[in-house]
């Protein structure tokens, strides 16, 4: 019996090749797109699930309240060293806590200095928390002391080739000097779907690394790294999180500044977050790897279902539309003794067979597209047919689901035909009530989905372009940002000489060293007091040198820039810190330049009103006291970070030491050429430090790289839904016009012109598109409003994308139907009526 069903199903497909082609192509595209998206969704939700004992590994996160003195909500994956140590002390169910810091230092091997992109330094054995697999060594023997380092398999291969690296020495250049580290282990490369990443993991002694800034070890407000926690078996993290409010009060001491008693814990909360929930979690600031959010992943999952639904709708529409061609077949089968159950089984078999053929082609398409997909999204998605994370079960489920969803209603619909009514007077199923309304409803659903996705794509693209082209308060074009200036090997004398030589490079208009630049990795704040005030205001505080504002292209709103001729402008003090010099600075006072938003936060109504006013801030060590700062200039706000983060109100302090980078303004020369010239100066001046530089435009693009990739992916699948909808509409129009051939012939005999008939048929298929607009617009507006609210600055949600999407959908529908309608309308009525 089943063999007969298969043979009949294949013959039915071969008999109507147009019907089979439209359905197979539509289902193939729909299934391939659905599989790609579902693989992406599964990949995003698989982060750190591969890790052994992942249910016991947690990250301590810090949530800074928007109601605090800074006025900005910050959900950080970072936490203070002191927080992790206090947590371990107070909760016996915590088995291990490891604090990690991250930077890109210079590593010297055989006298050759190289920069390592991702070196992580930990205060104890990280592998007792993260049970990573090893190529050489083990978790027990890795990182036994503060001069040991473990390498990833790729890093070990790159540095030592096939030679055993165990026992070899690498020199890491850090703030404490050149320190030799012994290679003690080689671990397997950490998968991309992980919230941690590392090429090298070195263990350090906290007392040595922070010898010049030990006050940061005890301050809960100093978040400079990540605390990873391993709970003992059976421990409940939720119970610990429930006690953290009381724990804060016990452990975080009050701080008294200018007579103001504050507690950092009043503005921050802590939480233990399971390592598997970090990637899609609440805190996405300063993660070790780029994060995502549940909303985005859920949106793509919905798109996958919509694409699949569109393909299934095509099948249902076309199956019911061609019912007239199968009505006599059904009638004859029933006359010959077939039951309704057998007919339903027959039609479902045909539907599942169609879905199976489409799935096989779709799988080949996915295999071809997956490398491109991975490269585009910077993922490592794989498709395994067997074993762990295999796809054969989802594939089988999709085939059965699509086959049943697309074929169940047509099967029930076709199998209920009454033989007597069908065979009597050449009556066809086309007269059955209700089928036309169902098809209209499904066409409306298809175009509502397509229009909604077009609107969303347009808004996402517009917001991303807005973010990239927004006036950031500085000039991106013609700006080169040189890094690595803070590494050991670049002395203060070399640093000064470097910037002076860069200023003399042909094409360079201005150059200045700075602690803040485009797309900064860190954040620095200080507390400021207005005269007579006992409550402080938290503002960003960064050191710069003269020429910085000119190099960045920032606008002066009031007052003046810093000048080397103004002695009070210079706030330089020796490094390492000398208390006497810091106290002398407090006694003398300094001049400062503030941003426009900092002036507003300090309570000044206009930039001009702030000029000449004095504020006192925690710009030095607490023992020295508050530094009086006279405001001599107000500059435009500069959006150095992503548009998703609020602009930081900033105080700029002029100094001559302690810089990490150089801002270089150039004009009249090609970017590649200016980079080569600056690099040549660097290599002559600072030969022991690797050169690093990026153009501001490239840095901004990197900030929105994920948004751009996801937006392009969103647009691609939106186009697919439109294509699938048009394919179905074309097939439906073909079958409908074929069914109405005699009606069109009669209309032409009675005087109807070709244009009249085309307008009639086009209007019939245009009405569902108009209704679809009314459904899609409010839903798309609601979704995009919430998405745009995630940005600090956003575009206005105008009617333009909605009108454009509606018009585009109408034009596509008209173009799809018009050609078929025109062909039928031009047919000689004699051919249509010759049998009447």
Q: Give domain status of residue 697, yes or no.
A: no
> How many Å apart are CA 98 and CA 341, to the nearest integer?
65
Tell me, yes or no, whether 619 and 591 share the same domain. yes
Q: Is the domain of 161 the same as that of 184?
A: yes
Q: What is the pLDDT of residues 318-355, one digit of tens each?
A: 666 665 566 666 676 667 667 777 777 777 877 888 88
Report residue 543: phi and psi, to 5°.
Answer: -90, 140
Taking CA 459 as the corner, what is the angle to CA 455 and CA 464, rounded to the nearest 5 degrees? Answer: 150
CA–CA separation, 456 vs 781, rounded Å?
8
- Residue 478 maps to a domain: no
pLDDT of amino acid 413: 67
495-520 pLDDT tens trace = 899 999 999 999 999 999 999 988 88
| Domain identity same for 459 and 561 | no
The per-residue pLDDT for range 595-639, each reduced to its tens digit, is: 999 999 999 999 999 999 999 988 887 777 889 999 999 999 998
Which two tokens mark 566?
């103004």
Please tell me the total count of domains within the chain.
Answer: 3
Q: 151 and 92 share a domain?
A: yes
Give yes or no: residues 80 and 173 share one domain. yes
The helix (run of H) or strand (run of E) holding residue 742 is helix 741-749
612 & 711 share domain: no
Query: For residue 433, what pLDDT is reported?
Result: 44
- 428 and 529 fall within a common domain: no
Of 242, 277, 312, the residue at which a domain comes to its end is 277
pLDDT at 591 over 90: yes
What is the secondary structure of 130-171 as a DSSP string? SB--EEES-TTTSS-STTEEEEEHHHHHHHHTTS--TT-EEE
Mean pLDDT is lowest, of 186-195, 417-426, 602-611, for 417-426
712 and 685 co-located in one domain: no
Instruction: Look at residue 410 and tell me whether its pLDDT is greater than 80.
Output: no
Mean pLDDT in the chain? 82
Percent of the chain with pLDDT over 90: 30
* More confident call, 742 vs 128: 128
CA distance 713 to 709: 6
Q: Which of 248, 277, 306 is a domain's end point? A: 277
Query: Which of 663, 690, 717 is the last residue in one of the domains?
Result: 690
- Angstrom CA distances, 461 to 7, 49, 646, 714, stand at 49, 33, 21, 10
| pLDDT tier at 478, thresholds 50, 70, 90 | very high
289 band by pLDDT with thresholds 50, 70 and 90? confident
Residue 284 covered by a domain: no
Q: Half-sphere exposure of 603 toward its Cβ, with a 13 Å CA cutoff?
A: 11
70 within domain boundaries: yes
Residue 9 lies in a domain: yes
Domain that holds residue 273: 54-277
Distance CA 507, CA 695 (A): 15
- Please indicate, yes or no, if residue 49 is contained in any of the structural domains: no
Residue 287 in domain: no
Residue 139 maps to a domain: yes
Please give the full DSSP string across 446-508, using - where no structure is assigned.
HHHHHHHHHHHHHHHHHHHHHHHHS--SS--TTEEEEE-TTSTT--HHHHHHHHHHHHTSTTE
Question: Are residues 585 and 669 located together in one domain of the fold?
Answer: yes
Same domain, yes or no, for 449 and 526?
no
832 pLDDT exceeds 60? no
How much is the average pLDDT of 244-270?
Answer: 78
128 shares a domain with 154: yes
412 and 315, same structural domain?
Answer: yes
Q: Do the bridges between strand 94-103 and strand 119-122 make them parallel or antiparallel, or are there none, so unpaired?
A: antiparallel
What integer is the mean pLDDT of 763-780? Answer: 84
Q: Which residue has the higher pLDDT, 453 or 55?
A: 55
CA dihedral 141, 142, 148, 149 (to 10 degrees): 160
């Amino acid at each position: 019996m089943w063999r007969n069903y298969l043979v009949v199903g294949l013959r039915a497909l071969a008999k109507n090749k147009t019907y089979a082609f439209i359905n197979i192509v539509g289902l193939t595209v729909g299934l391939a797109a659905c599989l790609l998206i579902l693989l992406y969704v599964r990949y995003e939700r698989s982060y750190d699930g591969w890790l052994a004992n992942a249910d016991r590994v947690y990250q301590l996160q810090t949530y800074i309240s928007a109601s605090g003195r800074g006025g900005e909500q910050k959900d950080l994956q970072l936490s203070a060293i002191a927080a992790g140590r206090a947590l371990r002390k107070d909760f016996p169910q915590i088995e291990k806590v490891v604090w990690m810091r991250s930077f890109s230092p210079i590593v010297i091997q055989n006298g050759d200095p190289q920069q390592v992109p991702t070196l992580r330094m930990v205060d104890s054995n990280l592998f007792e928390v993260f049970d990573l697999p090893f190529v050489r060594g083990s978790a027990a023997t890795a990182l036994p002391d503060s001069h040991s380092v473990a390498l990833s398999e790729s890093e070990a291969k790159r540095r030592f080739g096939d030679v055993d690296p165990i026992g070899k020495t690498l020199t890491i250049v850090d703030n404490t000097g050149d320190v030799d580290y012994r290679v003690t282990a080689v671990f397997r490369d950490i998968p991309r779907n992980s919230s941690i990443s590392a090429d090298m993991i070195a263990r350090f002694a906290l007392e040595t690394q922070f010898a010049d800034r030990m006050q940061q070890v005890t301050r809960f407000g100093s978040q400079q790294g990540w605390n990873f926690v391993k709970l003992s078996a059976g421990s409940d993290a939720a119970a610990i999180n429930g006690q953290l409010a009381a724990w804060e009060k016990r452990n975080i001491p009050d701080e008294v500044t200018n007579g103001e008693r504050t507690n950092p814990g009043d503005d921050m909360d802590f939480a233990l977050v399971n390592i598997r929930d970090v990637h899609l979690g609440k805190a996405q600031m300063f993660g070790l790897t780029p994060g995502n959010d549940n909303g985005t992943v859920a949106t793509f999952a919905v798109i996958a279902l919509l694409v699949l639904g569109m393909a299934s709708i095509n099948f249902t529409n076309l199956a019911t539309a061609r019912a007239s061609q199968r009505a006599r077949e059904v009638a004859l089968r029933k006359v010959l003794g077939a039951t309704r159950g057998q007919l339903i089984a027959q039609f479902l078999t045909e539907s599942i067979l169609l879905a199976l053929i489409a799935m096989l082609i779709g799988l080949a398409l996915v295999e071809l597209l997956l490398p491109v997909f991975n490269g585009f999204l910077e993922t490592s998605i794989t498709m395994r047919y067997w074993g762990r994370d295999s796809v054969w079960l989802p594939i089988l489920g999709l085939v059965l689901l699509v086959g049943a969803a697309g074929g169940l209603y047509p099967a029930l619909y076709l199998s209920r035909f009454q033989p007597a009514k069908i065979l009597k007077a050449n009556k066809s199923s086309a007269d059955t009530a209700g089928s036309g309304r169902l098809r209209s409803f499904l066409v409306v659903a298809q175009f509502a989905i397509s229009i909604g996705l077009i609107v969303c794509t347009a808004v996402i693209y517009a917001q991303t372009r807005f973010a990239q082209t927004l006036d950031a308060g500085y000039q991106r074009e013609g700006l080169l940002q040189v890094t690595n200036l803070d590494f050991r090997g670049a002395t203060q004398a070399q640093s000064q000489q470097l910037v002076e030589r860069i200023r003399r490079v042909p094409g360079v208009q201005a150059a200045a060293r700075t602690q803040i630049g485009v797309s900064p990795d860190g954040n620095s704040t200080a507390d400021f007091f207005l005269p007579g005030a006992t409550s402080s205001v938290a503002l960003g505080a960064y050191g710069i040198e003269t020429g910085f504002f000119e190099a960045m292209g920032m606008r002066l709103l009031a007052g003046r820039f810093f000048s080397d001729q103004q002695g009070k402008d210079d706030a330089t003090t020796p490094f390492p810190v000398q208390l006497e010099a810091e106290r002398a600075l407090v006694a003398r006072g300094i001049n400062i330049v503030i941003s426009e938003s900092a002036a507003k936060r300090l309570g000044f109504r206009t930039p001009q009103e702030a000029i000449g006013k004095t504020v006192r801030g925690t710009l030095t060590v607490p023992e020295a006291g508050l530094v009086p700062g006279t405001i001599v200039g107000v500059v435009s706000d500069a959006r150095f970070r992503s548009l998703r983060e609020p602009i930081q109100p900033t105080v700029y302090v002029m100094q001559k030491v302690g810089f990490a980078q150089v801002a270089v303004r150039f004009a009249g020369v090609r970017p590649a050429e200016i980079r080569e010239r600056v690099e040549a100066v660097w290599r002559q001046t600072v030969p022991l430090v690797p050169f690093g530089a990026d153009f501001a435009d490239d840095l901004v693009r990197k900030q929105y790289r994920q948004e751009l990739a996801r937006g392009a992916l969103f647009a691609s699948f939106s186009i697919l839904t439109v294509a699938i909808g048009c394919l179905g509409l074309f097939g439906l129009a073909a079958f409908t016009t074929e069914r109405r051939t005699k009606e069109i012939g009669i209309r032409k005999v009675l005087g109807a012109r070709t244009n009249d008939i085309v307008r009639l048929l086009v209007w019939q298929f245009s009405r569902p598109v108009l209704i679809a607009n009314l459904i899609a617009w409010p839903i798309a507006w609601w979704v995009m409003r919430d998405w745009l609210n995630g940005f600090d600055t956003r575009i206005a949600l105008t009617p333009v994308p909605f009108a454009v999407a509606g018009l585009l959908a109408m034009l596509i529908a008209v173009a799809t139907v018009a050609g078929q309608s025109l062909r039928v309308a031009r047919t000689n009525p004699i051919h249509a009526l010759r049998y009447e």
